[in-house]
């Protein structure tokens, strides 16, 4: 990685640095001062019980809200100093409930992901078109191109949104529970895609997940929150231990070995 330090992609690879970042609403702390470094070409799972501040942390990283205090930087620069489109070329964010009732075709939606590159006045170049097509091929949404996005099933729609994020060509993907509305089969489909995007495309992914076992199967590292505090930041193998899970969920869990889950499967006792 060191020889490419001049390229913007490489600086971006340095990822997020959080230094005592906190967030509160009307004086009530949602996130207590938190320090961490996030990024580096792998899938990072954000887990924790309900209300632990996972989504808030992700929204802070996506600059959808700004922290109440502390320093949050990305690529060696304070996050607040990035231009809107510059940041969008580096970071793509998928909200938990993407808009519905859009009325555009899948391809049109994916093409909108090129905005950070062509901007409000730039031409939609053949290169933009090619990247749009490529994004749809990578995500397996090519055959949906002409369908109205509102008529797609939940899994298909989620893949179209992921295609838009891919077309955005950002180094870092922030996904807020992309599988919450999907059945198990579609969860596996979407998460496999996310893992492929990270490992084959060299992207960093930060993903909020509800299910510990999904995190165990698809994430490289896990960041666990509880009550707005960071309780674990571990490699997935070290995270999947009874001690660590007890600290996060306050629950006794047993780790069973499993063929498709290298880090094992957690079962409450």
Partner 1 sequence: MTAITASPRQGGPAPLLLGMTLLALALGAVLLGPKLPLLSQPHASSYDPDRMVLIYSTLPRLAMAVLCGAALGASGALLQQALRNPLASPTTLGIDAGARLALGVATLFYPVLLGWGRDIVALGGSAIAAALVFALSRRQDFSPVSLILSGLLVTLYCGALAAALTLVESRYLASLFVWGSGSLSQQGWQPSADLALRLAVVVLPVTLLVRPLGLLDLGEDAARSLGLNVSALRIGALALAVLLAAFTTSAVGVIGFIGLVAPILARLAGARGFSTSLGAATAIGALLLLLADLAVQLAAGASADFLPTGAVTALVGSPVLLWLLPRLTTRLRKDAAADPAPSRRSGGRHSPATPIVVLGVLLLALAACALLIERAPDGSWRLLAAADMADILPYRWPRMLAAAAAGLLLGSAGFLLQRLTGNEMASPEILGVSAGATFAMAIAFFVGGLPSPAALTGAAAAGAVLVLGLILLLSRRSGFQPERMLLAGIALSALLDAVIGVLSAAGDPRAFQLLSWLTGAGFSAEPVSALASLILAGTALVLGLCLMRWLDLFQLGQTAAQALGVPLGLARVLLLALVAAGTAIATPLVGPLTFAGFIAPHLVRLLGVRRSGAGLFASGFAGAALLVAADWLARTIAFPFQLPTGLVASLIGAPILLWLLQRRAA
The residue ranges that bind partner 1 (CB under 8 A) are: 62, 64, 83-89, 91-95, 98-105, 108-109, 112-113, 115-116, 118-121, 146-148, 150-151, 164, 168
Nearer to partner 1, 45 or 113 (CB): 113
What are the φ/ψ torsions at residue 27 (nearest 5 degrees)? Answer: 85, -10
What's the min distance (Å) between Cβ of 108 and partner 1? 7
For residue 45 the two structure tokens come to 């799972």
What's the min distance (Å) between Cβ of 28 and partner 1? 12
Nearer to partner 1, 89 or 217 (CB): 89
What's the min distance (Å) between Cβ of 121 and partner 1? 7
Nearer to partner 1, 145 or 255 (CB): 145
What's the min distance (Å) between Cβ of 160 and partner 1? 11
Q: Measuring CA to CA, which residue among 102, 203, 149 is closest to residue 141?
A: 149
* 24, containing H or E segment: strand 16-25
What's the min distance (Å) between Cβ of 262 and partner 1? 32
Instruction: Judge whether 76 and 11 are in contact, CB under 8 Å.
Output: yes
Edge-to-edge strands of the sheet including 221-226?
91-94, 172-176, 204-208, 43-47, 221-226, 229-235
Please state the separation of Cα 31 from the chain's center in Å: 19
What's the min distance (Å) between Cβ of 155 and partner 1? 16
Nearer to partner 1, 85 or 246 (CB): 85
What's the min distance (Å) between Cβ of 91 and partner 1? 8
Burial class (CB in 10 A: 0-12, 13-18, 19+), 179: buried
Straight-line distance from the first to the last Cα atom of the chain, in angstroms, rounded to the nearest whole number: 44
Q: Is 204 left (phi over 0), alpha (psi -120 to 50) or beta?
A: beta
What are the φ/ψ torsions at residue 165 (nearest 5 degrees)? Answer: -65, -35
Q: Residue 264 and residue 269: Cα distance in Å, rounded?
A: 15
Nearer to partner 1, 128 or 211 (CB): 128
Nearer to partner 1, 101 or 257 (CB): 101
Nearer to partner 1, 35 or 66 (CB): 66
Planar angle of CA 250, 207, 81, nearest 5 degrees: 115
Nearer to partner 1, 4 or 85 (CB): 85
Q: Is the dihedral of CA 100, 106, 111, 113 positive or negative?
A: positive
Planar angle of CA 157, 159, 162, nearest 5 degrees: 115
What's the min distance (Å) between Cβ of 120 and partner 1? 5
């Amino acid at each position: 990685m060191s020889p490419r330090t001049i390229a913007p992609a490489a600086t971006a690879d340095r990822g997020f640095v959080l230094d005592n970042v906190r967030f509160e609403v009307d004086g009530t702390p949602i996130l207590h001062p938190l320090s961490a470094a996030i990024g580096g070409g792998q899938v990072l799972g954000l887990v924790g019980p309900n209300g632990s501040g996972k989504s808030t942390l992700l929204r802070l990283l996506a600059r959808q809200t700004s922290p109440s205090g502390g320093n949050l930087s990305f690529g060696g620069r304070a996050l607040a100093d990035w231009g809107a489109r510059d940041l969008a070329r580096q970071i793509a964010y998928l909200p938990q409930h993407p808009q519905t009732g859009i009325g555009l075709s899948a391809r049109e939606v994916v093409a909108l992901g090129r905005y950070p590159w062509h901007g409000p006045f730039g031409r939609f170049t053949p290169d933009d078109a090619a990247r749009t097509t490529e994004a749809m091929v990578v995500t397996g949404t090519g055959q949906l191109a002409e369908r109205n996005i509102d008529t797609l099933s939940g899994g298909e729609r989620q893949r179209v949104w992921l295609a838009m994020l891919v077309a955005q060509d950002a180094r870092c993907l922030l996904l807020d529970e992309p599988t919450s509305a999907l059945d198990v089969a579609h969860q596996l489909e979407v998460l496999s895609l996310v893992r492929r995007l990270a490992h084959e495309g060299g992207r960093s992914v930060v993903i909020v997940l509800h299910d510990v076992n999904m995190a165990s199967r698809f994430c490289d590292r896990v960041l666990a929150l509880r009550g707005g505090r960071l309780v674990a930041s571990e490699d997935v193998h070290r995270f999947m231990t009874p001690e660590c899970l007890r600290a996060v969920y306050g629950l006794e869990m047993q780790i069973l070995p499993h063929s498709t889950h290298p880090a094992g499967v957690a079962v409450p006792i």
